[in-house]
Structure 1
Amino acid sequence: MQPLFSFAPPPLNAAYKPKITALRLSSNKGHQNALLCTMEYAKDKCDCAISIDCDLQDDIEAIDDFIAHFTQGAEVVYGVRQSRQKDSFFKRNTALFFYKLMHIMGVNIIYNHADYRLLSNRALGALLEFKEVNLFLRGMVPLIGFESAQVYYDRNEREAGVSKYPLRKMLSFAWNGITSFSVMPLRMVSVLGLVFFALSIALALFALYVKLFTDDAVYGWASMLIPLSFFSGVQLLSLGVIGEYIGKIYIESKHRPRFFIAEEIGEG
């Protein structure tokens, strides 16, 4: 669950005491649903809301810059990491590959931006108009199209605990982002189908040539097994990609609630 900060000017001549509220969902619905839940909760309670992970790695000093851009008219402010030098070689390069791949797939995504962002009340309302169950907020927020700004900051070292995003979850998150915002994998399957169809025609012509014009008409088992195995693998891969999209359509068609708030804990 993501901490939520809502900002309002303190009353004149009065000590300002922020109200802290914690939301507990009925079950674990994942990072993106928890984040959206807090945004929905804040929609009618603030002029703007800032989402930030609770691992204390995002620099809270950047919040002042977020607010400055908001007061100047920006309705979406992205927190963007200045560099990834503190990341491991593997994580740094896989992240770079992920952002480049998303751009190739046609997804509008802010490079080196995660979920540290400010949304105005109007931007929150617009975001909540998206009804899909397969959430990828990094791709959804840029679709709003309101005036935006970027704040650059250095990410801190993790003080305690371990990341809740191991490689398996990172790959799942990336795949969900690609299949939720791009039909490029389906087009790639179509292109592969055409390419391998052309190769199969060429192979058939070659076999016909050998049969009619040479004395080497006896084929070994390898010449049959390798093409069959190769094309069978391509067919299964293509069916898997298509099945992934059909599965998403099936889940979306149910229109099930994305989360339920089990408890609201706050002062007073």
Structure 2
Amino acid sequence: MPAFNETENIPILHNRIAEVFNSLPSIDWELILVDDGSRDTTWKTIGSLVGQDSRVRGIRLSRNFGHQYALMAGLEHAAGDAVITMDCDLQHPVEMLPPMIEAWLQGRHIVKMVRQDAPHTGLLKKWTSRLYYALFTWLSDVPMREGLADFRLLDRQVLEELKQFQEEGLFLRGLIEWIGFDSCEMPYQAADRLKGTSQYSLKKMLKLAWHGISSFSILPLRIGMLIGISGTVFSVLGILYALYGKLIQRETVPGWTSIMMGISLLFSLLFVYLGILGEYIGRIVIEVRNRPRFIVMETSGFRKTQDAGPHFHRRG
């Protein structure tokens, strides 16, 4: 579970998870909390829980690397035969853990949780979410169900395959869909956040959305090429028409305004797709640098050989 300024929610979450697993005495479990550069007392709270419960583990990143990287840090340290990822703001209901585990015991490698919109969810959020998942599926050829979240169960075999992906710009939802394996879906109703305010800003959501599309598709570049070819054809036709009017008909071609509008439009599209091209080139530069995806400053509750941070998780 990634945690960013969640000091109030963590103890309540731990108690609820412990209650759930008390009803499953045959299951051995661990709780890995990843402090993603929190500015409050989140790490102190995690350390307190580690001292109280030997099943709790803590990972502290050196700064805020982002939700997806915090999840990956936890996944790389997980030791279980199956791993469940979820948020620690209690919007992902812990009551769904037993049926998820039951589906895994029945042979499912992946259990995907599909969020059902609450009655008070705004229309804008509903439609933008649907639009994004439809756009991602169309651009990437990787089908993605609307409502999928980072609340899921992964079998150890799936996790080992996932850990081989060392790319920058993590988009775990897309990667897990791409990997495949036998899976099932379960609906859940997202609860309201118990305490605190969401740290997932619009900027972070847009960044994640772009990483998802650009990691799985080069179709935007191909669309730009097609628009460029079409614009070139129309421009050549316009030049021929202007030359015909000037040399053959001996008159000035009317429509100067429309021509200027067309030129402005073409230049605007050109710069838009230069920007898209620049984004892809920027991603290539980041990959070539091969910097660590995240840095673990310290850990708590793991084996002593794992507690002597910092740890640099280099790609490749």
TM > 0.5:
yes
Q: Which of 108, 112, 135 is equivalent to 1:74?
A: 108
- Map of 1:128 onto structure 2: 163
CA distance, structure 2, for counterparts of residue 123 and residue 236 of structure 1: 41
Q: Which of 38, 43, 58 is equivalent to 1:22?
A: 58
Offset from partner CA, 1:228-251 (integer Å, 9 cap, x none): 322221211121111111111111
Q: Which moved more, 1:63-72 or 1:255-264?
A: 255-264
CA distance, structure 2, for counterparts of residue 220 and residue 267 of structure 1: 74
Q: 1 or 2 for the larger relative contact order (CA 8 Å, sep ≥6)?
A: 1
Tell me by how many angstroms 1:65 deviates. Answer: 1.2
* Uncovered stretches (5+) of structure 2, i.e. residues with no partner: 4-13, 29-52, 304-316
Tell me by how many angstroms 1:85 deviates. Answer: 3.6
Offset from partner CA, 1:90-138 (integer Å, 9 cap, x none): 1111101101101110233232111000011111111001110210001
Offset from partner CA, 1:11-42 (integer Å, 9 cap, x none): 8xxxxx76111211012111110000000000
**Mapped pair 1:34 → 2:70:** yes
CA distance, structure 2, for counterparts of residue 59 and residue 47 of structure 1: 22
% identical equivalent positions: 38
CA distance, structure 2, for counterparts of residue 228 and residue 65 of structure 1: 60
The answer to whether the 8 Å contact 2:245/2:253 transfers is no
The answer to whether the 8 Å contact 1:110/1:138 transfers is no
* Residue correspondence of structure 1 range 1-268 to structure 2 within 5 A: 2=2, 9=26, 19-42=55-78, 45-105=79-139, 106-214=141-249, 216-217=251-252, 222-223=257-258, 225-266=260-301
The answer to whether the 8 Å contact 1:84/1:92 transfers is no
1:267–1:29 distance in 2 versus 1, CA, 3 Å:
closer
1:205–1:267 distance in 2 versus 1, CA, 3 Å:
closer
Offset from partner CA, 1:125-180 (integer Å, 9 cap, x none): 11001110210001001222221111111111223322222222222211111001
1:94–1:146 distance in 2 versus 1, CA, 3 Å:
same
CA distance, structure 2, for counterparts of residue 84 and residue 197 of structure 1: 48
The answer to whether the 8 Å contact 1:19/1:267 transfers is no
The answer to whether the 8 Å contact 1:77/1:150 transfers is yes
CA distance, structure 2, for counterparts of residue 228 and residue 80 of structure 1: 46
Alignment: residue pair count = 261
Q: Which moved more, 1:232-241 or 1:131-140?
A: 232-241
* Uncovered stretches (5+) of structure 1, i.e. residues with no partner: 12-16
Provide the alpha-carbon RMSD of the alignment: 2.5
1:47–1:205 distance in 2 versus 1, CA, 3 Å:
same
Query: Structure 2: which amino acid aligns with 1:211?
Result: K
